[in-house]
């Protein structure tokens, strides 16, 4: 199964756009109640195309990890989205039992307390691991599934 098909890309873009304006985020400079409501791919393309007259968009690479917040974690997305409107870029991998999870690397070594490849571990095994922040500190956060991330978005 190739998870980089256009369907997954479109699903990821929908997740990114849906997380732009979270409740409680600082939206100074935006019209009150402004929501992004895209009807088709052309509108998505126009939305992501630079425009001098639009409020700037901030994109969080791998969710914008920070000290105490690991990459590709819902808690990191929430923390950063609480500060300002953002676009969230995240990465999807597939587990041994075909669960779609958020993880950038093919291996668990750099970002988790685990070792080995993602596709050699079941979802239950992956969920037992803790995520590391960029300073290699163990966080209380776990690997999210794509479904969990989409529900958050």
Of 7-16, 34-43, 82-91, 108-117, the least confident: 7-16
Residue 7 a catalytic site member: no
Percentage above 90 pLDDT, the chain: 46
pLDDT of residue 46: 83
Catalytic residue among 61, 110, 115, 137: 61
Q: Is the pTM of this model over 0.85?
A: no
Which CATH fold topology does 6-152 show? TIM Barrel (3.20.20)
Angle (deg, nearest 10), helices 41-48 and 6-18: 60
In the chain, where the domains are located: 6-152
Catalytic residue among 18, 68, 91, 104: 104
Burial class of 143 by CB neighbour count within 10 A (0 to 12, 13 to 18, 19+): buried
Within 10 angstroms of residue 77's Cβ, the number of other Cβ atoms is 25
The band of 44, judged by pLDDT with boundaries at 50, 70 and 90, is confident
- CB-based contact 34:55 (threshold 8 Å): no
Three-state secondary structure call for residue 107: strand
């Amino acid at each position: 199964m190739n998870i980089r098909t256009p369907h997954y890309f479109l699903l990821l873009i929908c997740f990114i756009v849906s997380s732009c304006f979270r409740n409680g985020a600082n939206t100074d400079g935006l019209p009150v109640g402004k929501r992004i409501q895209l009807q088709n791919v052309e509108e998505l393309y126009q939305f992501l195309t630079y425009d001098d007259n639009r409020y700037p968009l901030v994109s969080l690479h791998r969710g914008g990890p920070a000290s105490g917040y690991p990459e590709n974690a819902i808690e990191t997305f929430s923390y950063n989205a609480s500060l300002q409107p953002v676009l969230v870029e995240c990465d999807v991998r597939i587990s041994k039992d075909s669960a779609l999870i958020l993880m950038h690397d093919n291996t668990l070594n750099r970002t988790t307390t685990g070792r080995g490849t993602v596709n050699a571990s079941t979802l239950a095994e992956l969920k037992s691991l803790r995520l590391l922040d960029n300073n290699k500190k163990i966080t209380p956060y776990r690997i999210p599934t794509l479904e969990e991330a989409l529900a958050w978005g």
